[in-house]
A = this chain, B = another copy of it.
């Protein structure tokens, strides 16, 4: 069976009507749009159903797009339009504020997108590997507690506290930090631990008695930098719960749980579909069979991450795609204006 033009138009109409009304679409309601009788539409519907693009809940109900149908729609039928003036206006206020850190700008954007669309949005970001070590400071709180503060050239700062054994000398730690500042500044932050072992450890091994301990402290500090420097921000967590298709308390509770735990984080990270915008519908989402996830990566100002919008399968695909593309463009554009 072949997807002729009328079938395409019909599927497009079914998807878009369903997305708007959330009610199974009957043959009658489409007569005017497709300029033919309901009987003709019914015949075509049977064809689309056989191809797996639409389904019916029970024998006498209207048709609903299947996952396959949605996928065909996003791949072949939808036409992402320019943003409406209203949508754009709301986002613009954010990009006009130059003082915002990238991560804050992304978070704020997502808050607005969640608000505009009533879906849930997430950003999972981390300092990108083009952050270079700028400086490490050691602050002694007292004889036994010290803090190591690591700062990158992109302005990301992390700190970690250590409690020393009585036989470790704070001065030796400070000396080592000075050595690191002399020798390793400019090293990509994810390579520091490595260089530490091969360039610093051999040197301090000769000078410091307790060099293993000292080495471990710095090793931990840099490792923690990488570990801690991932941040997740979720906006409109409850929006998803409000979608009318999630009717039973089981649905709501199940999704609420998933929105809380870490399966969520994994979902955002696990699927790696390259640099372009990706759409995962239903089972493909790796999150819940009843949602669609639209994701896109961004990279800007020493940070990189993934933005994901989670909505019902009958998502306003065109609008969300436009919003997300526009936003990432702007975010990445921030870089250049520096």
Contact = CB atoms under 8 A, between A and B. Distances in A.
- Secondary structure of the A contact surface, majority rule: mixed
A149 B134 contact: no
Contacts of A231: none
B151 A147 contact: yes
Interface in A228-245: 237-238, 241-242
Contacts of A137: 137, 139, 149
Interface in A199-242: 237-238, 241-242
A9 interface: no
Nearest to A151: B139
Contact of A238 (B135, B159, B256): B256
A161 interface: yes
Can you tell how many copies of this chain the complex includes?
Answer: 2
Contact of A249 (B98, B157, B249, B257): B249
A155 B135 CA distance: 19
Contacts of A193: none
Contacts of A256: 237-238, 241, 252, 256
Interface of A: 98-99, 101, 134-135, 137, 139, 141-142, 145, 147, 149, 151, 153-155, 157, 159, 161, 163, 237-238, 241-242, 247, 249, 252-253, 256-257, 259-260
